[in-house]
Structure 1
């Protein structure tokens, strides 16, 4: 059986369509009809990815994202109403990795899931020599792509899939300025309809995890009017 996906959605038609398309791709699918049941099934089945609707009875998608993030960095895709930017931004702020707006194509949802799994697991089959060569060591921060692990001052930092991807993309080209559009292209993909607010929210989340003072970041610098860059000498600035 393939990776396990938990779908939490109160609309029976959407659940059925999601199950058919996901199982056709070889995924194991667990279904929940409301947020409370979703939380119970999450703890019971330990899924590899969660798809959660924002508006649900008993426990909404926001609350569920918060609870999941307190104990897991499992990828989360939220389903939101079309045009409701506040839903998307709130979901991303609470730790979701991606979102898709309703009505949506089940093929697009499966593609998003496939891309997340590919990014998460692609490094695990590489040879040890290649893995070691790809480690980015900037002294205060070490990024290991094969393990998808970030260490700062000897402490492992828990990052979501997208948080790691954004950091790794920028850290591979230290000093280069990336516009929000370029990060969307490199991390979310050209065919994705995610807007620039996703980058803003994700950068803020990332800074909260890796920066000693997120309001005065050392590693991830803002280049006003253009975008962001990774400063490989960020840790040295703490001594200035």
Structure 2
């Protein structure tokens, strides 16, 4: 099996060299660049398994890079920034980032985030065994397939990022039932819900747009206030 290919986009040369050496020593393939405009071209041409993307970059900043590539690039993007402010995290997630880290980067935390993001983006063999009897959910015009990680809406493919697919699959498996925000966070982020994590809400928002849902009055992915989300069975 080929080593996962990571594109590291970081304008701090010393930090970039340290991260690159650390990841190569752990058997990742790493390509490094230091500008946002270069990152755009490399993401499109290389299609790396994961992107580590600094928020502040020359040429084009990291948020704009993320926003620009996200419609076509479905692999994980982890944003890295020097500023520990909630607005930066929210903006990064709204632009389509899968995760968010602040500097100074701790090596083990970075490695754990990378491995978790890669596990989410590639179907796990043990997961397939568990889900084999029911790897596809069909709701009128919507088809969600966990083996191919594909989505069709009215016979047209819907391109989702890895984390968007994960949310949709969890909702589709329990279509017509309320899925709590707590269980979504625990399943998808790997830690207990603390009442403040907004990443699930932002993924739901992006899903609604791609599935043609009404953001003001959603009828496909419904918010059940105080409880969670529900994927409607009869609205496709």
Interval of TM-score (by shorter of Structure 1 and Structure 2): 0.7 to 0.9
**What CA RMSD, in Å, does the superposition of the two structures yield over aligned residues?**
2.6
| TM-superposed deviation, 1:23 | 1.5
Question: What is aligned with 1:53?
Answer: 54
Secondary structure, counterpart of 1:20 in structure 2: helix
Structure 1, 163-172 or 205-214: larger mean CA deviation: 205-214
Distance verdict in 2 for CA 1:192–1:60, change over 3 Å: farther
Question: What is aligned with 2:204?
Answer: 203
Question: What is aligned with 2:44?
Answer: 43
Provide, for residues 115-164 of structure 1, a one-character-per-residue CA deviation record: whole Å limited to 9, x for no partner.
Answer: 22222222579889x75741111222111001111111111111111111
Distance verdict in 2 for CA 1:207–1:139, change over 3 Å: same
> In the TM superposition, what are the counterparts of 1:155-166 in structure 2 within 5 Å?
155-166=156-167
Provide, for residues 54-93 of structure 1, a one-character-per-residue CA deviation record: whole Å limited to 9, x for no partner.
Answer: 1112210111112212432222111133531111111111
| TM-superposed deviation, 1:51 | 0.9
TM-score by length of 1: 0.87
TM-score by length of 2: 0.88
Question: What is aligned with 1:81?
Answer: 82
Question: What is aligned with 1:25?
Answer: 26
Question: What is aligned with 2:149?
Answer: 148
> In the TM superposition, what are the counterparts of 1:6-21 in structure 2 within 5 Å?
6-21=7-22
Which aligned runs of 4 or more in structure 1 are off by greater than 3 angstroms?
A: 123-128, 130-133, 191-195
Secondary structure, counterpart of 1:228 in structure 2: strand
How far, CA to CA, are the matches of 1:226 and 1:45 in structure 2?
Answer: 41
Question: What is aligned with 1:66?
Answer: 67
| TM-superposed deviation, 1:194 | 11
How far, CA to CA, are the matches of 2:82 and 2:196 in structure 1?
Answer: 15
Secondary structure, counterpart of 1:214 in structure 2: coil
How far, CA to CA, are the matches of 1:14 and 1:158 in structure 2?
Answer: 33
> In the TM superposition, what are the counterparts of 1:161-172 in structure 2 within 5 Å?
161-172=162-173
Question: What is aligned with 2:137?
Answer: 136
How far, CA to CA, are the matches of 1:124 and 1:208 in structure 2?
Answer: 31
Unaligned runs of 5+ in 2: none
The size of the alignment, in residue pairs, is 235
> In the TM superposition, what are the counterparts of 1:214-225 in structure 2 within 5 Å?
214-225=215-226
How far, CA to CA, are the matches of 1:224 and 1:145 in structure 2?
Answer: 28
For the Cα contact (< 8 Å) 2:52–2:80, is it kept in 1? yes
How far, CA to CA, are the matches of 2:204 and 2:155 in structure 1?
Answer: 22
| TM-superposed deviation, 1:223 | 0.8
Structure 1, 150-159 or 209-218: larger mean CA deviation: 209-218
